Amino acid sequence: MRQKLIVGNWKMHGSQRLVKELIQGVDAGTEELSDNVEIVVSPTLLHLGLASDICKAGRIKLAAQNLHNEPQGAFTGEVSAPMLAEYGVSYIIVGHSERREIFDESDQLVAAKFMAAQSSGLTPILCLGESLEQREQGASEKVVIKQLAAVIEAAGISALQNAVVAYEPIWAIGSGNSAQPEEINSIHKLIKDIVQSRFSSLDLHGVIYGGSVNIENASQILKEEEVDGALIGGASLNGEEFAKIANIFNELKEL
Ligand code: PEP
């Protein structure tokens, strides 16, 4: 069954106090939610241990924002998938545009991180998406196909079985301008069609959308048939708003 997911990416924000408050707020606001909607938060690596202790008894799952593709070694400052697994992390965001752009992560490195996550039993959330320039050149689909193909080539199509894909147009991230619901739906369908054309019995865990999702636009975006959830940055730093978006999603999909 396809997973429904609402994921909060806290990026390099937070303090021990804020992490506690946010998790408690999200927990309280999602008490009535159906079990079919997975709630995931992604604090900084430094706050994962604290978050893991708080989340242990509850329903909130954890995602890491990054990992190294090797399991161990002389890589000062890095953290590996087996280490994250030990902290009770369930998901890992890979290929976020901030990592691709600011930290120069190539499609090949993203694929290596994707495989490293899976080899420790963690589910990668693979981010794909075009820049504004690429969009203006009409190349959105081409970019998404290329980024997806790099992972399929390295990991094999069956690896997509245990993965979530996040369509995140770069121009929509943190800009306040989300993509139009119909555009989002059509890219999500493209991603699912590509995967299914290569492996007919394979159903992705889900394709979620990220890029300026907030309480105002959530229902328009999340009601689309091919949208299996959201990856939320800015609005996830408000526990109440994040929980409300999860509740909107829950009602829309009549789970
Ligand atoms: C993100 O960083 O993945 C993201 C979607 O951010 P925002 O919701 O702030 O656009």
- Spatial CB neighbours of 125, under 8 Å, sequence gap ≥ 6: 7, 63, 91, 92, 93, 94, 163, 164, 165, 166, 208, 231
Report the C-alpha gap between 230 and 223 in whole angstroms: 11
Q: Decide: 213 in ligand 1 pocket, CB within 6 A.
A: yes
Q: Ligand 1: which of 164, 170, 231 to mutate, most ligand atoms within 8 Å of CB?
A: 231
Nearest to 168 by CA among 132, 202, 204: 132
Would you name the residues annotated as active-site residues? 96, 168
Nearest to 212 by CA among 254, 250, 184: 184
Q: Decide: 230 in ligand 1 pocket, CB within 6 A.
A: no
Of the two residues 205 and 25, the one the predictor is more confident about is 25
Band (pLDDT 50/70/90 cuts) for residue 203 is low
Amino acid 253: pLDDT = 77
For residue 1, is pLDDT > 60?
no
Contact of 89 with 124, CB cutoff 8 Å: no
Contact of 166 with 125, CB cutoff 8 Å: yes
Number of Cβ within a 10 Å radius of residue 208: 28
- Strand blocks (E) in 19-83: 37-42, 61-64
For residue 46, is pLDDT > 70?
yes
Q: Decide: 248 in ligand 1 pocket, CB within 6 A.
A: no
Amino acid 64: pLDDT = 98
Band (pLDDT 50/70/90 cuts) for residue 204 is confident
Q: Ligand 1: which of 94, 97, 168 to mutate, most ligand atoms within 8 Å of CB?
A: 168
Q: What is the pLDDT of residues 97-150, one digit of tens each?
A: 999 999 999 999 999 999 999 999 999 999 999 999 999 999 999 999 999 999
Q: Decide: 221 in ligand 1 pocket, CB within 6 A.
A: no
The protein residue whose alpha carbon is closest to atom 4 in ligand 1 is 233
Amino acid 2: pLDDT = 63
